[in-house]
Amino acid sequence: MKQIIVQFGGTGDLAQKKLYPAYQSLLSKGYEFHIIALGRRYSDKASFQKEMVNPEARELLEKLDYVQYDMAEPESTVRIVERIEELIDCDASIELIYYIALQPNLYEDAIHQIQTIDSQFTCTLSKKIVVEKPFGFDAESAARYNKILSLAFKDEEIYRIDHYLGKEFMQNLLIMRFHNDIIRSIWNNRTIESIQIVFDETHGVDQRLGFYEKIGVVRDTIQNHILQIVTYLTMSEPASFTSEDIAIEKVKVLRSIKPINEFRLGRYESIGSTRGHAVETPTYAALKLYVNTFYYAGIPIYIRTGKMQARAVSQIYVKFKNMTRSVVNDDSIHENSVIINIHPELTIDISMNLKEPNTSWKSRPVKFRFNHADTFGVNTPEAYEQIIEKILKSDKSLFPSIREIYESWRIVEPMLQEGQEIEIYPARSLPRFASRMIEKDGIIWYTDSAAAKET
Ligand SMILES: NC(=O)c1ccc[n+]([C@@H]2O[C@H](COP(=O)([O-])OP(=O)(O)OC[C@H]3O[C@@H](n4cnc5c(N)ncnc54)[C@H](OP(=O)(O)O)[C@@H]3O)[C@@H](O)[C@H]2O)c1
């Protein structure tokens, strides 16, 4: 089958940094597809390719076409139809993949224009539509987008992207939990005391201010990536690793989470404010939630994520209950834990107490480490490569279902209310509320502890 990707937002940051390298890698591995990139800023293919694509990406340059296209001028869809028609042969089997990578406020218009484009072909074409996250601004707009999409596409033809599902650490969470008897038997509320999820970025909004201003941290990461991580950490074992079976378990988790009521939002102090470029939207959030299913109820899950932090940290910390302390009557005994570090490299540590040499029955925590790069090498495909490969193969196992998306919007809804208090924090510092929230429960962020710094 001949596959043609029609890339809306083909001149954007995502296309340049992630999609084109992923296309190049897949083409060099023998996949065969064409890409028609769409954008406003270049007038022709040569200038587009020169600015947007690595000149060494030989296979990509051969297959990557460009059409100047402005959504405000619906007649430019004619050029897209013409270009597609030049590539198709009605006797062959053809699949069109419309990939929307635009600011979310343009999605509705883009979907309408895709319907117009799609209705022009006389051949029978199979089709897919790919939509970047966040899917909607809230539950209401997500339902509206979905309704419009479903006028032209069946649900199995719709791929809603959350690229975290293409990341190795996410897939490893499921494999670690469900391919290991020892982990399976301890992964529940009888043994787990609390979970911490930290995603701190060092950079600010940078050149993406216009985009981010309409989005903010809740829509950018919490509604999608963070809640997907929560589902992977707490879902029950799926009947299989197919998209349908995984979605069933993820939806159960999300439906058990109440709308978040323990949270605080922050915004970093904008240095550019005098030039009129101040960030107005929340750039940091800390929150606590519970998954109210039989095996996970009662485990507090502490989450913090946002921009302009001193250190880039992407870490999941699972702390186990410490019965040993009482059993051996020794308060110095450390808890066991599983620590998943995602950045700068993927490692999984299991922390256990073992005897310290030259002592009389004294123990010390020791980490057993899996390092992904040391074990499997550094050439693991990037998340987007895995995601696009699945789209080409019509495998939906790495895509959230629409029910997950609706439930996620319901959960974060209180965080999206207008008029919330937003604490200003100095750049490169943790907002005070993030520490206060966890310290009031008698714990600290593992990532800031001395233990975290020892490897
Ligand atoms: N950037 C990332 O790292 C990243 C990561 C994950 C997900 N995403 C998602 O990807 C999507 C796009 O993000 P981005 O960072 O690539 O945004 P971006 O850099 O702002 O790019 C926006 C794209 O939309 C095009 N566009 C804007 N208005 C248009 C119009 N009226 N007609 C036609 N095209 C128009 C722009 O074309 P011109 O500039 O040529 O006009 C450009 O190609 C978002 O949904 C975002 O959440 C991005």
CATH code assigned at 6: 3.40.50.720
Residues 288 and 363 in one domain: yes
CATH code assigned at 265: 3.30.360.10
Residues 277 and 353 in one domain: yes
- Residue 153 burial (C-beta neighbours within 10 Å; 0-12, 13-18, 19+): buried
379 Cα–ligand 1 center, Å: 28
Residues 117 and 214 in one domain: no
Examine the pLDDT at 78 and tell me if it is beyond 80: yes
Residue 141 counted as domain residue:
no
Examine the pLDDT at 274 and tell me if it is beyond 50: no
Residue 298 counted as domain residue:
yes
Residues 352 and 421 in one domain: yes
- For all residues of the chain together, what is the average pLDDT? 93
**At which residue do the structure tokens 């405000």 appear?**
72
105 Cα–ligand 1 center, Å: 11
How large is the average pLDDT for residues 193-209? 91
Which 3 state secondary structure label does DSSP give 448? Answer: helix
Residues 183 and 62 in one domain: no
pLDDT score recorded for residue 210: 76
Cα–Cα distance, 380 to 387 (Å, whole number): 13
Cα–Cα distance, 233 to 170 (Å, whole number): 9
Regarding predicted confidence, which is higher, 260 or 211?
260
Q: Is 14 in the pocket of ligand 1 (CB under 6 A)?
A: yes
Residues 332 and 262 in one domain: yes
Residue 157 counted as domain residue:
no
Q: Is 121 in the pocket of ligand 1 (CB under 6 A)?
A: no
Residues 382 and 439 in one domain: yes
> Which of 132, 155, 185 is the last residue in one of the domains?
132
> Nearest C-alpha to atom 25 of ligand 1 is from which residue?
9
> Nearest C-alpha to atom 18 of ligand 1 is from which residue?
12
Q: Are 130 and 98 in contact (CB under 8 A)?
A: yes
Q: Is 216 in the pocket of ligand 1 (CB under 6 A)?
A: no
Residue 216 counted as domain residue:
yes
* CB within 8 Å of 191: residues ≥ 6 apart: 320, 321
pLDDT score recorded for residue 329: 95
Residues 120 and 239 in one domain: no
Residues 98 and 226 in one domain: no
Q: Which atom of ligand 1 is nearest to the CA of 215?
A: 47
Regarding predicted confidence, which is higher, 139 or 1?
139
Model pTM? 0.93
Residues 261 and 398 in one domain: yes
Q: Is 211 in the pocket of ligand 1 (CB under 6 A)?
A: yes
> Which of 85, 113, 132 is the last residue in one of the domains?
132
> Which of 132, 148, 176 is the last residue in one of the domains?
132
User: 297-329, pLDDT tens digit by residue?
Assistant: 999 999 999 999 999 999 999 999 999 999 999
8 forms bridges with which residues in the sheet? 100
Domain count, the chain: 2
How large is the average pLDDT for residues 349-374? 95
330: domain range? 164-453
Residues 30 and 171 in one domain: no
Candidates 395, 400, 383, 389; CA nearest to 17 is 383
Confidence label for 277 from pLDDT (cuts 50, 70 and 90)? low
Residues 255 and 207 in one domain: yes
